[in-house]
Amino acid sequence: MSPSFAARLIAWQKAHGRHDLPWQNTCDPYRIWLSEIMLQQTQVAAVVPYYERFLARYPDLMVLAAAQEDAVLALWAGLGYYARARNLHRAAQAIVRQHGGAFPRELEAVRALPGIGRSTAAAICAFAYGTHAAILDGNVKRVLARHFGVDGYPGERRVEDALWRLSESLLPGEEVGAYTQSLMDLGATLCVRTNPRCGVCPVRDSCVAWREGRTADWPTPRPAKVLPQRQTTMLVLMSRGELLLEKRPAPGIWGGLWCFPEIDGAQLGAEVGLELECLARFGLHIDAPRRLRDIEHGFTHFRLRITPVLARAHRAAGASEPGSLWLTPEDARGAAIPVPVRRIIDALADPGARI
């Protein structure tokens, strides 16, 4: 009798898998949880430096729970999907309130925490406690869809349910952590989206996609959809070498981050209207407004075109509205700001730069 799917993957992982990532070789649920949240929709190479900086600042759950949200978001800035950082912070505080600061061991208790879904909870518990629980992240969906020839877009409920049943049926009785890691490694290093390395795959012989020469057919791609285009105008106010930033409300796009104020784009052609807008909103007189180069920024469900408008502001010493801050460009770069705001600030320091 040939070795099972799980047994072949475990043996391959021990010999050829990844063993030196900074969140491996530990059973500390805090470190495992942090890595799993950071790895959601983000590649390992991008996560590693953020993970190491985050642990240096917040070495354990209690320190994270006591932190200010602004500081957490500032450390996360550039990694994207900022709801992950807000939920991480909220979950740490919930663990302190509800579990005395000890990361819960029960799968359902972990899943009940903010920002943790079914697959993430299973991965955390499998690595930290050896819990017998199946995962189904994007890489695993691709592996199972190809290996078993599962038709249909995995984002559809019917297809996803079928993949969950498969994932649960393949769980080994022992070494669940090693098996979970093997699935992740296989999807990240061999069974990749394009040009999969089938020649060295440990489960190639039983793979439907390889046998039928159809690795490009599975998983079925997301149905074609044109992303809507949105437009916004950001007011870049400069006074005494400082920039005005507003805190974005949460939830929402860039919730909790510091951004340039957004204004009605219709004001661009009317300098008087722009001045009245600034006076009404910020109590500021402005002059010399100048439109900068538009920039594009992509989100999962839409694309955003940003028109920055630079203007000189006249303010009283120390004046600041609630929810707003005047910061030097250098201090602003160290704050919790989204990537487009950072690009605008960087371009201000180099007039010849392309925004």
Whole-angstrom distance, CA of residue 25 vs CA of residue 69: 29
Whole-angstrom distance, CA of residue 263 vs CA of residue 233: 6
Helix residue ranges, H only, the chain: 5-16, 29-38, 44-57, 61-65, 69-76, 83-99, 107-111, 118-129, 138-148, 157-169, 176-185, 208-212, 271-282, 329-333, 339-349
Q: What is the DSSP string of 168-210?
A: HHT--SS-HHHHHHHHHHIIIIIS-SSS--GGG-TTGGG-HHH
Set 36, 242, 246, 277: catalytic member: 36
Whole-angstrom distance, CA of residue 350 vs CA of residue 108: 51
End-to-end CA separation in angstroms for the chain:
61
The answer to whether the Cα torsion of 340, 346, 349, 355 is positive or negative is negative
Give strand pairing partners of 286.
313
Q: Is 296 a catalytic residue?
A: no
**Where in the sequence numbering do the catalytic residues fall?**
36
